Chains A and B, each alone.
Chain A
C-alpha cells in the first residue's frame, strides 16, 4: 500500500466532513392563509371556508375541498372553543425545536369546524387533561398573524363560561406546560 494512504503525525483519518445547510424561504401565504391570519390578528376570530357540496367546514382554509374536490368560496366563522380530539405531552427535546418541551400538543375540534385544529394546551394539570374535554383559546393581546396569536387553549371551567366572553383574561396558574419560547 502506498505510504500516502496512511495519515501521518499520529492523526486520525478524516472520517467525516461537517457542514451546515441554511436555506431561507419566503413562503407565500396565498389568499386563504392571508385572510385566515389577518382575521386572527385584526379581529381575534377564526375564519375559514365551507365546502358548498359536502357542507364541511375545513381547516386550514384553502381554495378547494380535499374530499369533494370542489371549489370553495364561502367563508364562515368558527368558534375559538371546542373539544379536545386528542393530545400528547411532548418531552423530547431536539435542536431547532420551535417550542420548548415539555408542552401539550393537541388536536382540537372547534365548534363549527369539521377538521382538527392543531395547538397547545395551557393552564391545566397533566392529570386533568381528558380526550373530549372542552377547551377555549386564550388570545394574545399583541397579535402578529400567526397561530401564536392564540397563546394556548385552556379548559373551559364551567358550563356558564361557554356563553360568556371570558377568553382573554389573564389567569395566574403557576408553572405551566405550553409556555412559548419565542
Chain B
C-alpha cells in the first residue's frame, strides 16, 4: 500500500421509524451534506462517490444509486454502488477505502441508507431466502437470529442464559440515551426484556432491533488531504472481510468463522495481537441482543463461552474498561443498509474525539464490526488516531 486513508467527516440523520417528510434521495442527501460540512468540503470537491444499500426490494427501486447519486452531487462523477446485504454500509466504506488507496481518487464520499418504512422490511428479508430451498419457512431476520441464539445458548448453558442477552438489550438502550441520533432511547430492566413478547424464541421483542429510516455518510481522504482537512482524522488501520457459504459442512452460527477470519485479517494489518487490551472500544452489529455476546467471542474480546460473563462484569458498559456500542448499537436503530456504516462512523467518531455525550475518553484505536446474509458475511474495520 503506497498511501493511507482516513475518515475526515461524518454525517447521520436522526433514526426514526418513518421519515415521511423526505424521499429516499433526500434522506441520503441529508446525511451526505452533513458529512461534507463536517469535513469542510462541498460536493464539487468530491472525486468519487460510493453508495451502499441493502436489497432493492426494501424501497422497490432497482439500481437506486442512479436515482440517488444526483442528490449527492454525483452527476458527471464516478459512482459505484456496493450491495452486500447487512454488511453493505461497511463494505461500501471499505470500497471507498480502496478507491483512495488504489491511488485513483483523493476524496471519496460514501453514503449508505435505508428507508424501511417505504416498503415491508420482513418481507424484503424473507425474499433473500432461496425460493428453491428454504424460502417457505422464512421469517425475515428474526427467524435466522433465533436459530443462532438457540445454538449459542444450547452450547454454553448454563454459563450463558437468556438473561445475558437481556443485559445487552438493557445496556445498549441506555447508551442510546446519550446518542442524539438513536431511535430507541430507553431505560429498561432485564425483567422488562424477559417479559416482552416472544418474536422468534428465544428472542423477545426487546432483544430485537427496530426498523428504521435513516442514512449515514463518511468522507474518506488520502493521507495528504486528510491531514489538511482535520487535525484528528480517523485512520484506516485494519480492514478485513470474509464471506462464507451457508451450505458447507459444519456451519457454526454460534461462532461464525467468517467473523473470526475477518478479525484476524484486520488485526494482522493493524498489528494488533491482543484486541481486548489494544483496542479502546468497539461498535458491533448486534441486530439481536445475543449477537453482541457471540461477536465478542468471535472477535476475541473474550474466550468462547465467556460472552455472558463479559456482559455481566460491566466492563463493556459505558465507564467500563472496554465499552461496546456506546452509540446504543443496532438495537437502538437499524436502517439496515446504513447500520454497518454507522458502526464504522461511530468508531471513527470516537477516534476523532467527536462523539459528544457518548464519547469514551482517550480512544486511540476502535473496532467496527458487521455481519450480513445468512450470518455468512463479516467485516471488521479498525480505526486509529495515528498511522
Contacts and interface: CB of A to CB of B under 8 A. Distances in A.
A/B: CB atoms within 8 Å of each other: yes
A60 B147 contact: no
Contact of B132 (A27, A96, A116): A27
A120 B146 CA distance: 14
A56 interface: yes
B146 A97 contact: no
Interface stretch (B26-34, B249-257, B269-277, B302-310): B249-257
Contact of A89 (B134, B137, B146): B146
A105 B135 CA distance: 12
Interface in B119-151: 120, 122-123, 126, 130-140, 142-143, 146-151
B104 interface: no
Interface residues of B, number: 42
Interface residues of A, number: 48
Interface string A52-72: 001010111010011100000
A119 B135 CA distance: 10
A86 B253 contact: yes
B131 A90 contact: no
A115 B151 contact: no
Contacts of B248: 56, 58, 65-67, 115
Given A25-B131, A89-B200, A59 B154 contact: no
A98 B138 contact: yes
B132 A99 contact: no
Contacts of B146: 88-90, 105
Contacts of B147: 86-88, 105-107
Contacts of A91: 197-201
B136 A98 contact: yes
Contacts of A59: 247
Nearest to A59: B247
Interface stretch (A3-11, A13-21, A74-82, A163-171): A13-21
A92 interface: yes
Given A90-B146, A91-B200, A118 B134 contact: yes
Given A66-B248, A87-B147, A97 B253 contact: no
7 contacts: A27-B132, A87-B150, A88-B142, A88-B143, A98-B137, A105-B143, A148-B136
